[in-house]
Amino acid sequence: MMESVEDPAPWHRGRDQFGPWGHRHRGPFWLRRRGHGGPLRRDPAERLAGGVASGVAAWKGLNVTTVRIAFVLIALVSGGFAVPFYVAGWLLIPAAGEDSSIGSRARSDSAGIALAVGLATLLAFVLFVGGVFNDGWFAGWAWPQTVTVAGLALIWRNASPDEQATLRRLVEPLGAAGAGRAGRPGRRSAIRLTLAGLLVFGGAGWLFSARASVALLRPLGGVVLVIAGIVLLLGPWWLRIARDLVLERQAKVRAEERADISAQVHDSVLQTLALIQRRADDPQKVVWLARMQERELRSWLFEGRAPGEAEADITFAAGVRQIQQDVEARYGVPVEAVTVGDCELDENLNALLAAAREATVNAAKWSGAGVISLFAEVEPDSVSIVVRDRGKGFDPSSVPADRKGLAESVHGRMVRRGGTADVVSAEGEGTKVTLRMARPAAAPSRSGGAS
C-alpha cells in the first residue's frame, strides 16, 4: 500500500485514480483495451497466481482471461516444461508500483545471500553427516533440496509483503498437516487428519497390492480413496482460499463504492465548503452557495442523478425544479419550490412552464423579496403553478407599456394555449401570479377528491 504513495506510476491501479481535481480517471478500462504503453509490470491487484498473466494482459492490451488460457495451454502442450518460465517471470518482472523485481532485489541482498549460503552450508553439513552413515542415496536425493531451501529463503526475503502472504498461504497446508495449528479446534482437525491419513495410506496400499492382481476395479477404487483422502486433507484449506477470494472481491467492490462517494463528496461538498470559507464576509453569497449545494446533493441522494447531469426525460415536476435552480443560480434569490403530483410534459405544459419561468424571473428581478415561492400542482383535470413573492408589488393598472414581461410572455403565452393567467398585486403587498392549464381529457381519470 505504501508504495503507491511513494511511486505513483501512471499505470498503477492504486489510490491515485483521482487526479488532483478529484475527477475519476476511467484509466484501467481504457488502458485495458489499448495497452498502457508503459513497461511490463505484474499486476498484483488482478492476480490469480503471481500476477504475470494480468501484467502481460495490461501491457499488451489483451483480455486477461485470454492470456491465462494461453498460458495454461502452453503449460499443457509443453508437458509442464514451460511452468518454470512463469516462475522466472514472476521473479524477474517487477510488480506494478515497484521499481525492482524480486530477482534483482535478491541479487543485491547481500545479507540474504549470506543467510542463504549459511543455510545451505548448514543443511549440507547435516546431510553430509547423514550421508556418511547411509549408503549414499540419501545424500544424492537431498542435495537438490538444499539448493531449493536456500533459493526459497532468498525469494522469501525479497518478496513484497503481499507476495509473502501468498507464499504463506501456499505453504500453510503443510504446516496444518504437520501439527494442529494453534488456535484451531484441535480435536476436529486431528480426527480429520487421521481419517485422511488412513484413506491415503489405505488407497495407496490398495494400489500397490492391486499391481499383483489383474482386477481392473481395484486400482480405480484405490485412486478414489487417495483422492478422497487428499480432498479431506486439503479441502478446508481450498475452501478458505476460495472464501478469501470472494471476500477480497467484495472488499474491492466496497472500496470502489467508497471511492465513488468520496469523489462525489469531494467534487461537490468540499469544494462548496471551501468556497463558503472564502466568501464568509458575503452572507448572501454564502446562502446561495449552500442552497445550490443542498439542491445538488439532494438530487444526487434522492434521485440518483450526478450533479451537472441533464435530466434524461424531463417531467413536469423536474421542469419546475429546473426553474428553481436556474433562477436561484442566476439571480441569487432563494426559490421555495413545492410540487404536488407529476405528469409527462406536452406542448401545453411546456408553455405553462415557460410562463412560470418568466413570472419567477420577474419576481426575482423586480420584487426585491427575500424569497420566492413556487407552488405547482398536478390535478386530474388541470395543472396549476402559483408564483408568489412578498416583495414591493405594483399596481397592475399602471404598468408602463415598456414592461411587457408579464403581459406578453406570461399572459399571452397562457391564453394562446387555452390557459389562464391571473395576476394579483398591490403596492407593498407582494405579487401572486396564478397560472392554470387544463389537461386533455385523455389524461388518466383520477377522481381528485373535492375540487
Residue 184 within binding range of another protein, rule CB under 8 A: no
Q: Is 311 in the site for another protein (CB under 8 A)?
A: no
Tell me the closest approach of the beta carbon of residue 343 to another protein, in angstroms.
12
Local structure of residue 294 (DSSP, 8 states)? H
Note whether 304 binds another protein by CB under 8 A. Answer: no
The one segment of 37-45, 65-73, 242-250, 378-386 that binds another protein by CB under 8 A: 378-386
Provide, rounded to whole angstroms, the least separation between the CB of residue 388 and another protein.
Answer: 5
Output 176 or 323, the one with its CB closest to another protein: 323
**Helix/strand/coil percentages in the chain, nearest 5:** 60, 10, 30
Asked whether position 336 contacts another protein by CB under 8 A, the answer is yes
Q: In what order do the strands lie in the sheet with 420-426?
A: 335-340, 372-378, 382-389, 430-438, 420-426
Choice between 18 and 300, CB closer to another protein: 300
The one-letter code for the residue type at 412 is G
Question: Smallest distance, Å, CB 356 to another protein?
Answer: 13
Rounded to a whole number of angstroms, the minimum distance from the CB of residue 423 to another protein is 15
| 332 near another protein, judged by CB under 8 A | no
258 C-beta neighbours (distance < 10 Å), count:
10
* DSSP output for 250-282: HHHHHHHHHHHHHHHHIIIIIHHHHHHHHTTT-
CB of 371 to another protein, least distance (A): 7
Residue placing its CB nearer to another protein in the complex, 116 or 387: 387
Residue closer to another protein (CB basis): 225 or 386: 386
Task: Tell me: does residue 426 bind another protein (CB under 8 A).
Answer: no
Closest C-alpha among 200, 172, 198 to residue 184? 172
| Contact status: 446 vs another protein (CB under 8 A) | yes
Contact string 381-410 vs another protein (x = CB under 8 A): -----x-x-x--------------------
Tell me: does residue 239 bind another protein (CB under 8 A).
no
Q: Nearer to another protein by C-beta: 91 or 335? A: 335
Compute the distance between CA of residue 104 and CA of residue 338 in angstroms, rounded to an integer: 68
Nearer to another protein, 176 or 376 (CB): 376
Should residue 375 be labelled a site residue for another protein when binding is judged by CB under 8 A? yes
Applying CB under 8 A, does 422 fall inside the site for another protein? no
> How far is 320 from 314, CA to CA, in rounded Å?
10
Phi/psi at 17 (5° precision): -75, -20
Candidates 158, 264, 272, 373; binder of another protein (CB under 8 A) is 373
From candidates 114, 242, 371, 415, binder to another protein by CB under 8 A: 371
- Considering the complex, what minimum distance in angstroms separates the CB of residue 372 from another protein? 9
**346 scored as a contact of another protein (CB under 8 A):** no
Handedness of CA 38, 41, 43, 44 (dihedral sign): negative
Measure the CA–CA gap between 387 and 424, rounded to whole angstroms: 11
Task: Work out whether 442 is an interface residue with another protein (CB under 8 A).
Answer: no
Long-range contacts from 432-435, C-beta under 8 angstroms, 24+ separation: 432/386, 432/387, 432/388, 433/359, 433/363, 433/386, 433/387, 433/388, 433/406, 434/384, 434/385, 434/386, 435/352, 435/355, 435/356, 435/359, 435/384, 435/385, 435/386, 435/387, 435/410
Which residues are bridge partners to 384 per DSSP? 377, 436
User: E-assigned strands of 308-429?
Assistant: 335-340, 372-378, 382-389, 420-426
Q: Which stretch binds another protein (CB under 8 A): 94-102, 110-118, 260-268, 332-340?
A: 332-340
Among 341, 368, 405, 412, the residue binding another protein under the rule CB under 8 A is 341
Contact 16, 4 (CB under 8 A): yes
Judged by the rule CB under 8 A, the positions of this chain that interact with another protein are 294, 297-298, 301-302, 336, 338-341, 371, 373, 375, 377, 379-380, 386, 388, 390, 432, 445-451
